[in-house]
Chains A and B, each alone.
Chain A
Amino acid sequence: MADVALHPNRVPATKATRRRNGLHNALRRKSTVAFLMTLPLILLVAAFVIYPALYSLHLATLNKSMTKFIGLGNFEFLFKRDTFWLVVKQSCIFAISAVIFKALIGFIVAHFVHNVPANKQRRWRGMLLVPWVIPPAMSTLAWLWLFDPSYSAFNYTLSFFGIGPIPWTGDANWARFSVILVNVWYGAPFFMIMYLAALKSVPEQLYEAAAIDGANWWQRIWYVTLPMMRNIIAITTLFSLIVTFANFDIVRILTAGGPLDHTHIFATWAFRVGIEGSDIPLGASVSLFMVPILAVAAIFILRDISKRGNEA
């Protein structure tokens, strides 16, 4: 009331205006507005991520005909199957080796592109990104023809050198190699573009300072480039690890898990068991098994990033 006394011409606020002010104030709080504006996205995430996740948890606890709750029965069944452990092993080999090669090739290619003069760099960047922008289902079909045992370009070319024919998709180890090769071919450009962006953000003067300090090119990479890129490398690796681990299309089209399940990874085997084998609860259990493995990797990598987050 003090301000009324000071301003005799002012009429005290009515209840209605006060209520409007309440709404007004609530809107003026940044957090409220921010929440309201992100609400549609939160709803979308809830509808398309949280609901299916909870639903698959529910599915994994049902019997084959989805009529009875059997608790952890599906998991108990999986643990006793040799094929399941084969899939676990293959998924890890596939994801880890593919990510390592993607990162390595992406890093090397990024360096080459970084050293291309600026006016020609766009062209190279565009061309090198092509594998990544073609839908993998289509490009894998092309690889399938290249890998054909009798009529393919690969075996034909190798025959001139007296090599082969190589059973690219017929032999267990060659099939694993082929699947990884195609995945590396498809995923390396993503690493290349991420690393290129990271390389561009390293101040030139750090390299100059290192050059004056006496570092050779390898020491400059080891002591300047890699530490400066560590966060990007970690995030890209984590992201790629998740995507590669959950890969479906390349394996499905190239080998369909064969020969004799020796290239199955979680997603393709879940599809085989759940859709083709008509045991949806078991398929859901297989795919759920990816969660703890990836969660552990994510925790390790993200913890490392947040530890050094404030450094640069």
Chain B
Amino acid sequence: MAEVSLRKVVKRYDEVEAVRGIDLDIADHEFVVLVGPSGCGKSTTLRMIAGLEDISDGDITIGGDIVNDVPPKDRDIAMVFQNYALYPHMTVAENMSFGLRLKHYPKAEIKSRVTEAARMLDITDLIDRKPKQLSGGQRQRVAMGRAIVRNPKVFLFDEPLSNLDAKLRVQMRIEIKKVHQKVRTTTVYVTHDQVEAMTLADRVVVMNHGRIEQIGAPNELYHKPATRFVASFIGSPAMNFMPCRLEDVDGRLHLRLTDRLAFPVPPARSARYQAVPRTERLLLGIRPEHIAEARPHLHPGVEPFEAVLDVTEPMGMETLVYFTLEDTPICGRVNPNAGAQDGAPLRLAVDLNNMHLLNEVTGVVL
């Protein structure tokens, strides 16, 4: 087991820069998830750690040693691929033991490691089958087993759950987490699914256009996003953004959304935004769960308003409501018993204690 670090890592393909200088330190035993939209450079970064892609610039170290020119087999890593990449002509046991057999481990040791990994992943009964005879979820377990038996310094996962159906994905997500709790190997996991990132990671690395947008614990990214990209990428349904500007009314800082709609900024937030020029074009970022039905006794910082709902989506434990504010679509989450109906007005309340204020041009959260 080892720590992994990336120093100003760059990957260029002819004219395209896929990864544009990444700095990242992954601690021993840590589970780090790289997340971002397709084409953001997350898979390329993972493949550079694996040694499957050359790095154009910068340094990658595993366990303190620079591995820039070390071939994959000598990096002591194991990788789980999106399409599993199991050898179709080998049985499950042969697939799992392939790496050990190449390194001429003693037969007894290979057998005990395979048995142990199979038991951990609950695939003991499948050990003599060929990959063709397995379901997607079982193949995924075998691919993980192949990584575990090697007992490498680092696990690399490249979108391992993308080929599974929704239910199986949730199940395997939990399996992966359990395995990591048992073996505690440093793990780098790539996904485009922010739910996977949030649920699995010790730390999430959000990437966009070949750069790191933000690194942080899942809750930190959720509650304190650094940029508009992170704010909109993390969380489902996504955060609402409404154009707004600041103004002073009776000596108090107000947030003006439309000509008729303005809210006082909660005192706790006022100091932070005081220095922002009043003419600056801003965005109010607010998560759907902070737009709920108005209660009789509102807490300080929770401001009521009325909206005519366009569409409602009953989800069971909550109802999503959609309405527009000056052509900006907004989503809120209300109690299923709040009486939300398509086309009907509803009294809502926005919790400004959880607001984010962004610069509309730069996308930076203020």
Contact = CB atoms under 8 A, between A and B. Distances in A.
Interface in B65-90: 71-73, 77-79, 81, 83, 85-89
Given A208-B79, A310-B132, A312-B132, A213 B85 contact: no
B85 to A, nearest CB: 4
B249 interface: no
A208 B52 CA distance: 7
A213 B98 contact: yes
B63 interface: no
Interface in A271-312: 308, 310-312
Contacts of B137: none
Interface in A202-231: 203, 205-206, 208-216, 219, 223-224, 227-228, 230
A215 B85 contact: no
B72 A205 contact: no
Contacts of B99: 212-214
Given A203-B83, A205-B81, A211 B71 contact: yes
A contact residues, range: 20 to 34
B102 interface: yes
A219 B79 CA distance: 19
A208 B88 CA distance: 15
Nearest to A211: B72
Nearest to A205: B85
B207 interface: no
B81 A208 contact: yes
B188 to A, nearest CB: 13
A209 B102 contact: no
A206 B81 CA distance: 9
Nearest to A224: B87
Contacts of B102: 213-215, 219
Given A203-B85, A227-B89, A214 B78 contact: no
B103 interface: yes
Contacts of B81: 205, 208-209
A214 B85 CA distance: 15
A206 to B, nearest CB: 5
Contacts of A310: 132
Interface of B: 50-52, 71-73, 77-79, 81, 83, 85-89, 98-99, 102-103, 130, 132, 146, 150
Closest 8 CB pairs between A and B?
A: A213-B99, A205-B85, A214-B73, A209-B85, A227-B89, A214-B102, A211-B72, A312-B88
5 contacts: A205-B81, A213-B150, A214-B73, A308-B89, A312-B88
Interface of A: 203, 205-206, 208-216, 219, 223-224, 227-228, 230, 308, 310-312
